[in-house]
Chain A
């Protein structure tokens, strides 16, 4: 992304958001292929926007292999940047699914990054850089959930689980079926929920909160992420979500055009995606009458798209229902117990 596209992107987002809180998530590919000067410019623009009264935060989602001391110095000083990493479990598992270009594993570097982040946070005490990870569940690790949980627990690493799905030019065969994923998630939940260890695992913590509050808790379940997220690619192209990046049929505009974002987000194409939840929940819609509709809203529209229909429900539907039911039983049991010891 060029500096001019960076400026146009941040300024147009801020102008469109009209005072709402904004988090810029710098994603890839691998966002740290861009050198530190890029993020120093991001910080400078953020400062300028903040001085004008806007609420801005930044986050970088990285594979963790290119985090340098200079970057950590910068993040420690700036304070408004957070790091999220990717790690698929113990060394043998992670290095199978996340090899580097030369075939060597990335595990050791990721662990070194986590250690370096924690050392910085311990030294600076009031600085929170973040060392939570996204862990992808696929054929490479679905049979090793106990080892996976023990690994994250022993390293006190909070993690969020996502299923591996086939998308774009992917040709690998590591994707798991919704049923396999659902069974794995219930198993992982059982390992975690009664363990006194307090590492956080999502989506479990999010789902529990959703079941209690009756509101969705992550973008996958938010009716349409088109309402709260927008993705801007390296050339300034606008998409409803990063997962659609590069799909010409979902390109909504370009931030290098005057008012590009405003026009993109008021386009009929964007409005259609924004109405997906209403479409699914309406009379005759696939989700009409579902008890979990308020917290699921038909699931992720990208996963729905790669299954054939972006306006259809997420094909993980049966898996979500199974997991919601499993977690709900546990919640009710714990609440009933609390009720009886008044």
Chain B
């Protein structure tokens, strides 16, 4: 697997032992590299990104789809 620069560390993502951190890295880089919504010029906010992720991630443990979370 090729190396990716994450927070100044050149790593192969599959070498990240902690699954939750690996998940966070995958989410982060996918928002830029392979998110199906990334070519939408208006798509700069987190909430759309988060929704897009929830629908399009099939390769890791993301099975949640929380609401905005500001309410209760």
Contact = CB atoms under 8 A, between A and B. Distances in A.
A205 B20 CA distance: 7
A30 B50 CA distance: 25
Given A130-B65, A198-B61, A200-B64, A331 B7 contact: yes
A262 to B, nearest CB: 17
A222 interface: yes
B7 to A, nearest CB: 6
Given A218-B69, A229-B47, A335 B16 contact: yes
A88 to B, nearest CB: 10
Given A198-B61, A339-B10, A134 B72 contact: yes
A144 B64 CA distance: 25
A213 B70 contact: no
Interface in A195-232: 196, 198, 200, 202-206, 208-213, 215-223, 225, 227-229
A20 B6 contact: no
Given A21-B48, A217-B46, A300-B70, A339 B9 contact: yes
A229 B70 CA distance: 11
Interface string A286-328: 0000000000000010100000000000000000000000000
Contacts of B62: 200
Interface in B11-44: 11-13, 15-21, 23-25, 27-29, 31-32, 37, 42
Interface string A161-181: 010000000000000000000
B59 interface: no
The size bracket of the interface on A is 35 or more
A65 B42 CA distance: 39
A213 B63 CA distance: 20
Interface residues of B, number: 45
Contacts of B9: 332, 335-336, 338-339
A202 B25 CA distance: 15
A342 interface: yes
Contacts of B28: 209, 212-213
B45 A227 contact: yes
A216 B42 CA distance: 16
A191 to B, nearest CB: 12
Nearest to A202: B66
Contacts of A86: 72
Nearest to B21: A334
Contact of B46 (A192, A216, A330, A338): A216
A338 B61 contact: no
B45 A228 contact: yes
A193 B65 CA distance: 20
Given A205-B27, A213-B29, A228-B45, 11 more contacts: A59-B65, A136-B72, A205-B20, A209-B24, A227-B45, A241-B70, A332-B9, A335-B16, A338-B11, A339-B9, A341-B15
21 contacts: A25-B71, A57-B51, A84-B67, A132-B65, A136-B72, A158-B64, A160-B66, A160-B69, A162-B72, A193-B20, A196-B19, A205-B27, A208-B21, A209-B24, A216-B46, A218-B69, A222-B47, A228-B48, A243-B70, A336-B9, A342-B12
